Structure formats: C-alpha cells, structure tokens
Structure 1
Amino acid sequence: MPQLLLELFSEEIPARMQQGAARDLERMAADRLKAAGLTYDALTTWAGPRRLTLMVDGLPAATPDREEELKGPRANAPEQALEGFLRKTGLTRDQLVERDGVLFAVISQKGQPTAGLIPDMVDQIVRAFPWPKSMRWGSGTLRWVRPLKRILALFDGQVVQFDIDGIKAEDVTEGHRFLGAGQPFTVRDFADYRHKLGREHVLLDVADRKLRILEAARAACHDHGLALVDDDGLLDEVAGLAEWPTPILGDMDPQFLDLPPEVVRLSMKVHQKYFAVRDPATQGLAPHFVVVANVEASDGGAALAAGNSRVLSARLNDARFFWDEDLKTGFDAWNDKLSGVTFHAKLGTLAERVDRIAALAREIAPLVGADPDQAETAARLAKADLASGMVGEFPELQGVMGGYYARAFGQPDAIADAVRDHYKPQGPADSVPTAPLTVAVSLADKLDTLVGFFAIDEKPTGSKDPFALRRAALGVIRLVLENNLRAPLKPVLKQEGAFLYDRLGFKLREDGFANETDLLRDDGQPQRRSSRRIETVALDLLAFFADRLKVLLRDQGKRHDLVDAVFALGDDDLVRIVRRVEALDAFLATDDGANLLAGYKRASNILRAEEKKGPLPEGMVRTGLPDQPEQETALAFAAAAAATAVDQALETEDFAAAMRALAALRAPVDAFFDKVLVNSDVPEERDNRLKLLGQVRAVMGRVADFGQISG
C-alpha cells in the first residue's frame, strides 16, 4: 500500500524541543488522518537538529465511501424546523426518509484520493504546530521554531503538489551542513531517504545518535584507562545538537580537581555540554572531559579538544572564584541576607521561614531519635547557601554546597549531611535520607511548606501545583514510611500551624472564625491566632496526605479505596495506616473476606433503611429469648468473641490477627442472613436483631470503614 513521507527542514531546532516536536507531529498527523477516515499500518516520527520527519506506511490510495444518517425533525414539525434541517444537509424534502413519523437524511459521500487530502493536512499541521517558542522571518506570515527552508512530501513515490507561504513541496532534502556533499539531493521513498541521509552523515534516529555517542565516548575513555561518567539528561541534549555526533576526549587542568566534584561536573554540563570522566582506580573525577563535536576533524579532534579545554578552564576559574569568595563569607552573612529575600508575600522572608523550620526540627528531633540542639543548628544552616555565590551561579547545587561549606567551617559531619540532604527526596526516584538528624530537618522543611501554603489557601488544583506541594507531601510520606517513624501527623501539623500564625502574626478577622486564643509572643506582647483555623488546615492536610498515600500505594498495586477505609477511622500514624491497609488487602483477597464484605454491606443497608424511619434500638444484644433461632444466638456469641479478639489484636497492632478474628464472623453472618428474618413482626425480636447487626457493623468498623470499600 502507498507510503507518505514528509520532512520539514529548517534552521537548527533547539535540542530541548525536538522530542516534544516529534510527539506533537505524530499526534497531529494521526488525528487528521483519522478525521479523514484514513487507516494505516504504521506512523512514525523523527526529530533532529534540522528536520522533523513523518513516515506513514500502509495508507490507502483513497478514503472509503461514507454514508451518514442524520436524524431530523418529526414529519409534522413546523416548516421553519424542516427548512433549517434541509439547509444543514443540503438535501430537498423528497430526498429525506421518513421512519415512525421522524425524518432522516442519508448523506452519501464518495471517497477522495488520499494525495488530494495531504496538502491541506500538512498546511494545518505546520500553521498550528505548538512550538513552545516560534518566530517569523522575511515578509511572510508563517511561524516556525526557526526559519523553515524546505518541505519534502512524497506519496506513493510521487511529489505531492502544494506550497506553504511560498515554500514549495518537492522530493529534495539536504545532508550534513559540513560533512555532506554540499548539494541537495532527491529521494524516492523512506528507505532511499534514510540511506542517503546516512551517506550524507546524518543519523535520522535519535536512538542511533545516542548509541554512537556512548560507544565512541566509552571507547575513547577506555583507550586511556578512564571511564565515562554517565549522564542521561546530558546525553539527551547533545544527541539533539549534532546530526553526526563525534565524541572527542580532551584534557582539563588538574588543579581544578580540588573543587567539589559536583561543581566541576555542573560547570562542564551546564556551560559546555561536556561529559565528565572518572578514574576507575580512585572512582574520583579525572582531569579530562568528553566533548561531542558535529564534525570529523582531519587531526582527530586535537585542535577542537585544545580549544574546548581553554574554554573549560575559563569556566572553572569562575567557579573557583565563587568557591574562594564563599569561604571568606560564611553562614552568618548569608543568613543575614535571607532577611531581605521574600519567600512568599503572605509567608514572610526566607529568614522567617528558617526560624519556623528550626523550631519544628527541634520538636521533631526526639520523635526520630535526633538531638534537638543539633537539629535546630542544622535547620538554621540549611537555607543559608541560597545566598552564596556558588548557588547563585548554579541553583542546582543548593543544599550540596551548604554541606561542603558546613564541613569547611567546622560543623560535625551529621550536621553537614543534614544540610546537604534536607531537600531529599525530591522525586519518586530520589533516595530517602535515613540519618535521624537529616530526617528531622527534611520533615520540618517539607511540613513548613505544606502548612504554609495550605494556610494561605494556595492548594494544588487539577494539574496545577506551582509550589510542588504534591511532591512535598510524597516526600513526607516516604520519609515516614521508609524510616518506620511512629509519629502521628496531626499534632505535628498543628504545631507548625501555631508556629506559622504566632511568628507571622496573621490577621484572621476576615476568615470568619470566632474561636481565637490570646497568646504571648517571645517579647511578651499579645499575639492573636485562630486555633480553629489551625485545626482546619491540619484536617485539610491530612486529607491531602491520604490522596498522596493512595497514589503511592496504587503504584505498588494496592487498592485506593482501602486507604479511604482506613483513613476514615481518624488514624494519622502513616506506618500503622499502611500496615492496616496491607492486612486488609490480604484479607479481602480471601473468600472469607469477600463474603464478609458482602454481609457487611447487607447489614449496613438494612440499618441505613431503618435509621430513616427513626433511631435504631440501643442496648445489649439478648440471647436465650423464647423461640430464638440458633443462628441468631450463634452470631451474638461470635460477634462478642470477635470484638474481644479484635481489640486485643489492635492493641498490639497485630492487624493480621484482627483480620483472622473478623474471618470467624463469616460463617455466622452467612447463616444468620440465610435463616433469620430481621424485620420480624414481633417488635422485641426485630429490635434485638437490629442491635445484633449494629454490633457486627461496629466490630468490623474498629478495623476499617468497610462502607468505603467497593465490591
């Protein structure tokens, strides 16, 4: 079947936009082919430094004939309705079909040649392409990421005739800017296109460019007894900078190796797009680098390596200047600068934020086994490097440089590590700190962020989370779970809320909360805060944590409704919640669990219906009543025994035992519903049986809110 080949050839496309552009081209082409009624076998896109390419295999020569039926007004509808329907369909009254008093229009459309649809499709794609940034050039109206030079469009081996803003479609493209023959060349189809591009030193597929970079770079390092420092992000970027990437090993002045290795690597990566190199014997950085050129130099790259070495030395001299100047300055001066830096208009300065984090870290420290004084010290140093020269130049090194400076100024390793790692974990793949001091500061940092932005009602909405609160909440959850911290969240959240209101002096008259408490600040002056508002913020945050925990457990294969069922009990110990969810998940996977859940829902439905009629009967369940069914008596004794067993198991947090105790209710509940009529005509019997169902619901409700569980 015919093949469509489209290439949009332009000046250099920024590397960061290329893969997004390939996805957009694929989506836009697929949408328009589908809208035209065209099917295909395969649709593939490629992006490179100067071209976007689309290849669609297995397209039909023409669109299929289509017949569409449109429902119209009733046959006896007013004349105006009929006239409107006829205008819409382009038919006359005698061409309509009447069925059951309703008029229908049957519109037949003959298929169109596919080649005739391509010009309009390409025009729409080009003019509506969603580049993050685009430009106009010359006197035309077309916008593209960089000036568009050529359009190659072939269908079934023939040029598709059209032009866009004066750029005519043809069967011609160009090779490498420097290594190619220097002349445009024609192609017949995709296989010919790809072969000739390779001959002209252009690797079309980004995967091929990455492989060439890695293989050549590793080989160059291996020849000198060195090893390449892998960097996937940098590999993605340099693969978008060169059509024929050629790695070259260069030398670096060894004197720069006394700088922190993160500084050296970042200077190479951010400013020069170089790969770092390490010495396998020491596992430290080696005085070399790998630069990816877009040419094959006749001297093997010696001149290129030397030139790049000089540029790198200049960059590293700048880094050394920042390092030396920072060591002359120190934490006191940096912390003073934080007083003039606004964290958020409603949440004060960075210095005020540091005060809150330090106070909360001191409170959290005993809960995680850390020293309170050290926790406060580490927290007061944690944000200082934001005012340093090095972090001003390389914001990615916040925290990391603080750790180096803390050691340089004589702080203990534990404090320096806490300063370095307190931002962790920053994402699902980031490691979780385990050192107690680091955990205390990291939790304080994230909780201050969460409480602060929730207090000023800057919560995430939909897909928008400008302050990364979802990431902060997930970080708290991972810190708690992976360190097995047995600390209820709500008191900590309320404590931070108190710090926030007391230290910032929020005026809450406008929030409608009347329950305010007089407090004294450190200077003895009265301070107002709303204890009810703090309670509300804490409850909102607990619900937010529940949502984030559901996401985390769902990724681990757990059911999200089980988190709701456990959170409904009001527990805020995340470790206990997860253990309870795991035990509940295992229980519901058994026949006893599934059947007992069905029995619970049946009992709850009966009780809910009776509650609508009036209050449910209260008091003890009675046994030994005249003519009482043995199934009722058996369930009464089973419920009482289960209540005792469940309470004992929950006391020791043996949730598996609690589930086994509930499993013992399965047979008595089944037998009860099979043989006993709850709504007896005898009031005494009815009341006793409703009490019994209430007892069963209450016993199960001590483990989880089974009403929240689907199924």
Structure 2
Amino acid sequence: MSADFLVEIGTEELPPKALLSLSEAFRDEILAQLSERELTFGEVTSYAAPRRLALCIKALDEQTPTQEIIAWGPPVNVAFKDGQPTRAAEAFASKNGIAIDELSSKVENDGKQDKLCHRATQAGEATESLLGTIVEKALAALPIPKRMRWGARREEFVRPVHWVLMLLGDRVVPAKVLGLDAGQQTRGHRFHAPAAITIDSPSSYAEQLRSAYVIADFSERRELIRKGVTIAAKEAGGNAVIDDSLLDEVTALNEWPIPLVGRFEERFLQVPPEALISSMKEHQKYFHAVDAEDNLLPLFITVANIESRDPAQVVDGNERVIRPRLSDAAFFYDTDRKTSLESRRDALKSIVFQAQLGTLYDKTERVARLAESLAGSTGADPKLAARAAQLCKSDLVSEMVGEFDDLQGIMGRYYAVNDGEHAEVAEALLEQYLPRFAGDQLPQTATGATLAIADRLDTLVGIFGIGQPPTGSRDPFALRRASLGVLRILVEKKLDLDLRTALTLAASAHDLPSIKTGSDKVVEQVLTYMVDRFRAWYEDESIPVEVFLSVAARQLSNPLDIHLRVQAVNAFNQLPEAQALAAANKRVSNILTKQDTAFNNTAIDNTLLNDPAEQVLAKTLVELSNQVKPLLKTRDYTDALKKLASLREPVDRFFDDVMVMVDDVAVRNNRLVLLQQLRELFLEVADISLLVPAK
C-alpha cells in the first residue's frame, strides 16, 4: 500500500538568499531518512516560497518492510554443560523470549563455530507514525547559522513558524512539529488570499495555492520572472540583463510575481553604468536593461509581489525610491573625481592589511617592487607595472567603493582614466582582480596580468610567512583561489615564469624577519601549496591523478612547463605502448634503487654489450636521444614521448633475453648504466613509472 505525502512548514518571510538551499536541504534530509527505513516512493517535488517550505512525495510506502531479526548467542560449549543450559543460555533465552526447552533447536554455525541463534520476524512500522519524527529531524538538520525563538515558545527555527501541514493521502498525519499540531490548512498570498485554505490532497496542493495567488514551485516562479522581465524590457525598447543570483533572490521574495518597468532620468547615465547597476541590484533588487550596443538604458524592471489595480502607482513609488539612490551614486562619483588616486595613497597608511604584514600602503609598495621585477617575464613595461601596483588599492578609500564594495577595481579604472594615467595602468587596476572565480576571464593586458600575479604572490608569501596557511575549513585570505588564479594566468597566457624565482622575489620584499630570514622555507611551502592546486585542476579535466604525479615527481616550478608536460603524459598514457613502458620504467627504478653505486653520467662501454637485445637497446637509445633532445628544448613533450613509445619492443626484448644482475661485475654495471640512460631519457619529461596503477 502507498499514498502521496505532503508536508508544508508555514513561516514568516524566509531569508531570500537562503531559501533555495533550505528547500534543497529539507528535501534531501527527508528522503535520506525515508531511504534509511527502506521506504520506497515515487516522484518528489520540492516547493519553496517566501512563507513556506514544502515537499510532496508520490506513492510513499505506508509501512516499513518486514525484517528478519537474527540474534546470536553464546557458543554451544558455553551455553551447555553436560547437556544442560548454563546461565549464559538462560539469559539468552530470557532476552529473546525463548522457552528453555527450545534452546537445543536454536543452534547454528556462524561460519566459525556453533552458537545459539534466534531468528524472528519483525513486522514493519506504520509510516504515518514515523513522519513527525522524520520532519522534526530534517528541520533540525537544516543549514541555519542562527536560529530564533518567538513569543514564549521554546522551539527554534530560522523564522517564526505559524502552521504545519502534513497529509498522507487524504489523512492528516497525527504529529507535532516545532510545537505545532500538524493540520490540513495552509495560507494563500498575504494580501490577495490571507484566509486559511484546506488542502484536499497532496496532489491538489500546488493548484489550490495557485488559486490563492501563490506559485509554490520555485523553479516555475523563476522561469515566469525570467520570461516576464525579458518581455517587459523588450516592450520598453531594451534587452533585460538577468543575473542568476539576483534572479534567485527575486524569486525568493515573491509568491505572485508581476514584472513592471520603471524609468530614471537620463542625466544619471553620466555615472559609470556599473555603479548604477550595483545600486539598482543591491538596494532595490531591480533588473537593468541595455540597448543593442549593450549601453545601459535609463529604465529598470522591478518584480512586484502583488497584482495591483493601479500598476502605475507601484511604478511611481519605485521610481521615487531609486532616484535618491542614483543621486547618491552620482554625488559619490563627482566627489571622488576631485581627488586623484595618487593623492589617496596616504589614506592607505591607516588601513591594516594584516596586523603582522602592515598596511595596504605597505602592500602596494611591496607589490610595486615585485611587479617591476616580474615584468621581464610577463612582457609588461616595468614602469607601467610598478605604477599600476602603486595605485592598485587607492580606490578602496573612495566614496563610491566605500558604498559599493563590489566596484573595487572597476572604479579604480574610471578614476585612473580621469587622472590621465596611462591606459594600460587604468586597465590593470580592474584586471588585478581577474580571474575572480573558476571560468572567469583573465587579464588581457600584460600590465594587468603582472599586477594580478604580483598581488597574489605577495599575499601568499606573507600569510604563509606568518604561519597562517589555509586549513581544510579556513581560508580567510582566499589563498586557494589566489593560487589557481596565478596558475591560470601563467598557463593560459603562456607566460614563461619560474614560480620559485618569483616567490623568492616576493619574500625579499617583506620586512618581517620570519619571512626574510626563513625565505627559503616559506618559498618552498608556498611553491608546494600552489603546484598542488594543479591536482584539482586536472581532476576537473578528467586527467588521471597518476599523470599529474608523474610530472610532480620532477619537482618543477614553472607552471607553464608543468602544464605542457602533464598534457603530453596524458596523451602518452593513452597509447597502447604506455602501460608496458611504465611497468618497465618501474622495474628499472626498482633495480637501480637497490644499487649502492649511482650510474648517472656514466658512459656505456659498447665492447661489453654481448647480447643482441642489449646492443639493439643501446643503439635505439642513442638514436632516440638525438631525436628527442631538440624537441625537449622547444618543450614539444608530446612528440618527444611519442618517439619514446617506440622503445617498447627493444625494452621488452631486453628484459626477456638479458639477465642484468650477472656475476661479471663489469658486464652487470654496464647493463645498469644502460638502464639508467633509459630511465633518464624518460625522466627528461616525467617519471612515467608512476603511471603503473597501485596494487
């Protein structure tokens, strides 16, 4: 037997930015508990609106499965003495409700020895009796940073709870949740349909709420808003720009969304569009619109949570609200342009970057020296790189960024242009923050790339230098993101820069003794941490971890070079010869590791090559070495490994026909030299012995 199950938690307006995650967690927690009890069910639908979290589960089992209970008792030699039950047997019988004279028939072998064993069948529980506890546990497990109480109640939740609806089929589930008795009633829209509504069945829930001006399905509301905003903008002569995070937030604020178009004075378009957009988005939750050339239009789309009889009044109210917001942005912009970025630098002396690492002014000085030093490797003009670094934090003390912190860098670029700074310096002030997240665009200018690298390396060296590296749960300075940002810039822009050298320069710019005196240790710590970020990068690209480890074993410090090697080894790993050669390299490595003598840079004595197989291998190694070395110089590792793949046959033949560890010391050592040269040739790219899967 099965029935549809519906649960709804009715609340005050839930936090809009958390609504979707709360809904998903509520669903996942309930389903996990149902699965733990081996209850089967059909289609699952989550509902999330400003005043409700709900879940509808089709065809839920009305009873948990019947279970066989197996209770093992003491071994037979402990349970019986001289054919009579012992106290241990009697205790087992009492615990399991077995008559003493039945014990002799309760003996089974557990695979090791004969023991007392009682098997019984336990009937399933009624699902209805479990649902209250399941819902309570699911609510308690929700990711709520701070819970609240209301009135004189002791129960806690993210917002006050006013009703609980729980139906199994057409029956109310007799349960108490968060101190409230579950019932059959819900509430419609706060203004359009505030009266109580009796839900007939789980299947009628969504439509009954719709008739009460509530679209309960989050994804349905989101698409309605997306389409409505798009259409409204087109009708007003523009194209709506819909940010997904803003769309989710607006969806969480509305039960009955009605898009409306408002306008603002064109004079505000003299303010940078990013500032206007930030003001509309952050303060008012408005969507903006652009023309065919992506220029900002003097209009906005708001989403009302009410179907007004006079929409013009709603629009007028929103226009009156946005006007002072945009006026503030215009005032900030006009005020900021009266003071140059250079003049603002002194204000940075009073802003602490990190207590032990000094102020933001100190940071700009260090980054300027580092950027100037790195310019030779990045193709930037050293003077422009240093100038950009000096000005890179000045916009943080501007009025505009003080009000809209998401405009840092953006306003720096505008103000640099206003100050007459070099165009590439101005662009770098924005590009220093790129990439901001996975998949984000990279700096386009050499100056911007140099500043972005220098700023991140300074932070990495500084934070590691004071002994505060990130942990599994804490990364307050976003060092993981900083590391990946540097790697992406170097790899994707093909910048040939050695990280160890760059980190050493970054360490030398610090005045803190713990960094200067221990710079080698700090540099190696940071270098290891940064190169390890490649591991997650390649996992995302479905490159086997063994491929990365084979290159990491070379302990290289040039990200571009590392990346080229990883790509080459990954291509080699897919060749039919790869596993055989990897296994041969592992065998060679094991043989050489056991020797007391190192055979590096030792020449082969051709007169001691007695076996045709070793003669062929030696000749092939010389020929391939001559072909591969030019490829290695140009970092064409892919072609180099393709050529080395031809070693499979001579290597296999060598190990089939030749005994390495012969009694003749000279012959043995000569063969070990041959193997050493084989290994060194592959090690020019990577340690491919690590491609052999671990057993």
Q: Give the TM bin, normalised by the shorter chain.
A: over 0.9
Greater shift, 416-425 or 671-680, is seen at 671-680
Task: Letter of the 1:408 partner, please give it.
Answer: N
- From the superposition, tell whether residues 327 and 87 of structure 1 become closer, same or farther in structure 2 (CA, over 3 Å): farther
Structure 2 vs 1, CA of residues 636 and 86 (structure 1 numbering), >3 Å: closer, same or farther? farther
Partner SS, residue 350 of structure 2: coil
Q: Distance in 1 between matches of 2:554 and 2:443?
A: 30
Of the structure 1 ranges 248-257 and 690-699, higher mean CA displacement relative to structure 2 is found in: 690-699
Q: Report the counterpart of residue 574 of structure 2 in structure 1.
A: 589
CA contact (8 A) 1:546 1:563 kept: no
Report Cα offsets for 1:617-648 as digits up to 9, x if no partner.
Answer: 7844333448x221122112222333333333
Offset, 1:125 = 2.7
Q: Is 1:260 the counterpart of 2:260 in the alignment?
A: no
Alignment partner of 1:540 is 2:546? no
Structure-2 separation of matches of 1:27 and 1:549 = 32
* 2:83 match: none
Rounded to whole Å, the distance in 1 between the matches of 2:90 and 2:488 is 66
Aligned residues, how many? 679
Whole-angstrom distance in 2 between the partners of 1:547 and 1:440: 22
Q: Is residue 668 of structure 1 aligned with residue 650 of structure 2?
A: yes
Q: 2:536 aligns to what?
A: 551
Cα deviations by residue, 1:83-114 (Å, 9 ceiling, x for unpaired): 99889878788666452144445454211111
Q: Which AA in structure 2 matches 1:698?
A: E
Q: What is the distance in 2 between the residues matched to 1:465 and 1:74?
A: 55
Structure 1 segment 679-694 matched on structure 2, within 5 A: 679-694=661-676
Q: Is the CA contact (8 Å cut-off) linking 1:46 and 1:53 kept in structure 2?
A: yes
1:455 paired to 2:437: no
Q: Deviations over 1:525-559 (max 9, x none)?
A: xxxx32xx212222222222222122223322323
- C-alpha distance in 2 between matches for 1:679 and 1:83: 69
Alignment counterpart, residue 492 of structure 1, candidates 502, 506, 531: 502
* Residues 550 and 691 in structure 2, CA contact (< 8 A), matched pair in contact too: yes
Find 1:291's aligned residue among 302, 305, 314: 302
1:154 and 1:244 mapped to 2: Cα distance? Answer: 25
> How far apart are residue 219 of structure 1 and its match?
2.0
Quote the residue 2:39 is aligned against. 38
2:171 counterpart (131, 153, 158): 158
CA distance in 1, matches of 2:90, 2:243: 67
Which sits farther off after the overlay, 40-49 or 82-91?
Answer: 82-91
Q: Distance in 2 between matches of 1:688 and 1:39?
A: 69
1:56 equivalent to 2:67? Answer no
Contact 1:624–1:633 under 8 Å retained in 2 = no
- Matched residues in 2 for 1:459 and 1:269: separation? 35
Alpha-carbon contact 1:75-1:98 (below 8 Å) kept: no
Task: Flag the 1:637–1:87 CA change in 2: closer, same or farther, 3 A.
Answer: farther
Q: Determine the structure 1 residue equivalent to 2:450.
A: 440
Within-5 A mapping of 1:216-227? 216-227=228-239
Match of 1:525 in 2: none
- What SS does structure 2 have at the residue aligned with 1:240? helix
Is 1:506 matched up with 2:513? yes
Ranges in structure 1 where 5+ consecutive residues have no aligned partner = 509-528
CA contact (8 A) 1:127 1:142 kept: no
Q: Which residue identity does 1:16 align to in structure 2?
A: K
Following superposition of structure 1 onto structure 2, how do residues 349-498 of structure 1 map, counting pairs within 5 Å? 349-498=359-508
Q: Which amino acid aligns with 1:241?
A: L
SS class of match (1:58): strand
TM-fit CA distance, 1:273: 0.8
Do the aligned residues in 2 keep the contact of 1:485 with 1:575 (CA within 8 Å)?
yes
Question: Is structure 2 residue 628 aligned with structure 1 residue 646?
Answer: yes
How far off is 1:196 after superposition? Answer: 0.9
Residue 132 in 1 paired to residue 139 in 2? no
Match of 1:306 among 312, 316, 319: 316
Taking structure 1 as reference, are residues 125 and 593 closer, same or farther at Cα in structure 2, changes over 3 Å only? Answer: closer
3-state SS in 2 of match to 1:2: strand
Q: Is the 8 Å Cα contact of residues 46 and 217 (structure 2) preserved in structure 1? A: no
Q: Give the 3 Å change call, closer, same or farther, for CA 542–165 of structure 1 in structure 2.
A: closer
Amino acid at match of 1:252: F
Distance 2:46 2:438 in 1: 30
**Structure 1 residue 75, shift from structure 2 partner:** 4.6
Q: What is residue 679 of structure 2 aligned with on the other side?
A: 697
Distance change in 2, residues 1:70/1:624 (3 Å): farther
In 2, are the aligned partners of 1:546 and 1:564 still within 8 Å (CA)?
Answer: no
- How far apart in 2 are the matches of 1:411 and 1:598? 59
2:127 is matched by which residue type in structure 1? T
Q: Deviation of residue 591 (structure 1)?
A: 1.4
Match of 1:622 among 602, 605, 609: 605
Distance, in Å, in 2 between the alignment partners of 1:450 and 1:174 is: 53
Counting aligned pairs with the same residue, the percent is 36
For residues 468-489 of structure 1, the C-alpha deviation after alignment (integer angstroms, 9 at most, x for no partner) is 1111111111111121111211
For 2:239 and 2:637, how far apart are their aligned partners in 1?
51
Question: Of the candidates 327, 339, 349, which is equivalent to residue 349 of structure 2?
Answer: 339
Over 3 Å counting, the alpha-carbon distance change for 1:115 and 1:394 in structure 2 is: same
Kindly indicate whether residue 70 of structure 2 is the aligned counterpart of residue 69 of structure 1. Answer: yes
Amino acid at match of 1:118: L
Matched residues in 2 for 1:348 and 1:84: separation? 72
2:158 to 145, 154, 157: 145
| Partner AA of 1:163 in structure 2 | K
Cα distance 1:356–1:90, how it changes in 2: closer, same or farther (>3 A)? farther
Change in 2 beyond 3 A, CA 1:84/1:552: farther
Structure 2 CA distance for aligned equivalents of residues 36 and 76 of structure 1: 37
3-state SS of the aligned residue for 2:255? coil
Specify the code of the residue in structure 1 equivalent to 2:397. Answer: A
> Which residue among 291, 299, 313 is the counterpart of 1:279?
291
- The TM-score normalised by the length of structure 2 is 0.92
The residue number in structure 1 matching 2:82 is none
> Partner of 1:636 in structure 2?
618
Q: Give distance in 2, aligned partners of 1:244 and 1:316.
A: 28
Task: Compute the displacement of 1:27 (Å).
Answer: 1.9
Which piece of structure 1 moves more, 34-43 or 166-175? 34-43
In the aligned structure 2, how far is the partner of 1:102 from the partner of 1:635? 65
Q: 1:520 corresponds to which residue?
A: none
Contact 1:5 1:55 in 2 (8 A): yes
Alpha-carbon distance change, 89 to 587 in structure 1, aligned in 2, over 3 angstroms? farther
Give the Cα separation in 2 of the matches to 1:327 and 1:89: 85
**Change over 3 Å in CA distance of 1:387–1:11 after alignment to 2:** same
TM-score of the superposed pair, with normalisation by structure 1 = 0.90
Q: CA RMSD in A?
A: 2.4
| Structure 2 CA distance for partners of 1:226 and 1:87, relative to 1, 3 Å | farther
Distance 1:298 1:679, change over 3 A: same
Q: Distance in 2 between matches of 1:568 and 1:87?
A: 64
Instruction: Give the whole-Å Cα distance in 2 for the aligned partners of 1:244 and 1:597.
Output: 63
Q: Which moved more, 1:217-226 or 1:24-33?
A: 217-226
Partner of 1:512 in structure 2?
none
- Cα pair 2:26 2:139 within 8 Å, conserved: no
Contact 2:167 2:202 in 1 (8 A): no
- Cα distance, 1:294 vs structure 2: 0.5
**Take 1:413 and 1:88, find their aligned partners in 2: how far apart are those partners?**
86
Equivalent position to 1:114, from 106, 118, 127: 127
**Deviation of residue 40 (structure 1)?**
1.8
- The equivalent residue for 1:521 is none
Query: Within 1, Cα distance between the matches of 2:97 and 2:139?
Result: 32
* Runs (5+) with no aligned partner, structure 2: 80-85
Give 1:325's aligned residue.
335
645-654 or 333-342, which deviates more: 645-654
1:616–1:690: 8 Å Cα contact kept in structure 2? no
Within 1, Cα distance between the matches of 2:669 and 2:91? 66
